[in-house]
Amino acid sequence: MKRIFLLLLSLSLGVASATAQVVKSGTSSVFVDSTGQSYVQVDQPVYFFVAPNDKPDSLVLIPSSDSQANPMYFDGDGVHYLVYRNPSNGEKVPFRIYADGIAPKPRLKFQSGLILSIGNRFYVDANAVAVASAADKRSGVKVAYAALDGGAFQSTSNPLQFPAGKAEYSVGVYAEDNVGNVSDTLFFRVITAVDSVVKIDNIYFDTNSARLKDGVIPELDNLAKVLKEYPEIRIELRAHTDSRGVDSYNMTLSERRAQSVFRYLQTKGVAAYRMVPKGYGETTPVNGCANGVPCTEQQLQQNRRVEFKVLPIKSVKK
């Protein structure tokens, strides 16, 4: 009786990330998990060997008349089934091989201090602690690396800490799976100043209008979803205008805009006591478009915006 061994040639792969300005290298291999499932990297050569039971180190390359059989390339992510027929006794030996072509997905998970998260942004208390890791549903994560504020990437064996004294941190994370697939670098923003002002993407208004445009609804729905996930959070809704018109009128217009967002979020189930609508008129432009300054329509629209600020967490009577 003979048995089959799989061997995947070790190849060095260079994967460059222009944004992170780092070079990551992975080594392709065969990986067998605790259940006996074999994994190989997609598009890498897999050689099949046989050896007698009593001499497992005496590997012999399986001969084949098929030029594509040894080595064999698995060109798509997923399960592949092979059958080897033992020429000495005719016995058929089946193999189930998973070709892994998808890299891990980096993530940042907080052990303490998390207030809320929106996409890749995390709002945290000072001295919050997080662990950079990755998720992989195939061969599993071999190692993950993290870099804080553009520093050197290091193994994520140690938790990341975000002390007071700095309003925002940047964390880059990438990972390698057990067969050599290397992920892109994913960047996270960690904001320790919880009173930071955050612009709600794509929430703009027409000139002299407080009516919500149809295109803004998905963004507000997303904010409502986040607020439901974090019921202890209270926010100030901050609405703004551009610099055209009378200052006092613009202040009133911005208050109407804040109320429009406030009322919509109420219809999505966010309690009124958790939101403080407030208008700022033209007092805080995001660019130089103040009174008397000529600006394009695009620049003016940037100021007709809505933002929110996370308020200090405290006990509030409903």
Write the DSSP assignment of 58-100 as a string of letters: --EEPP-S-TTTSSB---SSEEEEEEEE-TTT--EEEEEEEEE
Q: How far apart are CA 205 and CA 264, in angstroms?
A: 15
Mean of pLDDT values over 162-172: 87
Structure-token pair, residue 107? 């993530």
Classify the C-alpha dihedral 199-202-206-210 as positive or negative: negative
What is the per-residue pLDDT for 310? 81
Cis peptide before 52 (omega within 30 of 0): no
Structure-token pair, residue 137? 């549903």
Mean of pLDDT values over 94-101: 88
Q: Report yes or no: 179 and 41 within 8 Å, Cβ to Cβ.
A: yes
Domains of the chain: 2-100 (no CATH), 105-191 (2.60.40.10), 197-310 (3.30.1330.60)
Is the per-residue pLDDT at 79 higher than 50? Answer: yes
What is the per-residue pLDDT for 10? 33
Q: Report yes or no: 73 and 46 within 8 Å, Cβ to Cβ.
A: yes
Mean of pLDDT values over 9-13: 33
What is the per-residue pLDDT for 165? 75
What is the per-residue pLDDT for 317? 42
**CB burial string 148-160: b at 16+ within 10 A, e below:** beeeebeebeeeb
Closest by CA position to 187, among listed 169, 208, 171, 166: 171
Token pair 């009128």: residue: 249
Instruction: Return phi, psi of residue 44, to 5°.
Output: -110, 150
Selected residue with higher pLDDT from 61 and 108: 108
Token pair 């055209």: residue: 244
Is the per-residue pLDDT at 8 higher than 60? Answer: no
Is the per-residue pLDDT at 105 higher than 60? Answer: yes
What is the per-residue pLDDT for 314? 53
The H or E element that residue 209 is part of is none
Q: Report yes or no: 213 and 143 within 8 Å, Cβ to Cβ.
A: no
Q: Report yes or no: 239 and 251 within 8 Å, Cβ to Cβ.
A: no
Tens of pLDDT, residue by residue over 175-204, are 999 999 999 999 999 988 666 677 777 787
Q: Report yes or no: 129 and 161 within 8 Å, Cβ to Cβ.
A: yes
- β-bridge pairing 160-162 and 92-100: unpaired
Q: Report yes or no: 114 and 131 within 8 Å, Cβ to Cβ.
A: no
Tens of pLDDT, residue by residue over 220-266, are 998 899 888 888 788 899 999 999 989 999 999 999 999 999 999 99
| Cβ neighbour number for residue 109 with a 10 Å cutoff | 11
Tens of pLDDT, residue by residue over 201-217, are 778 787 788 888 877 88
Beta bridge partners of 235: 275, 310
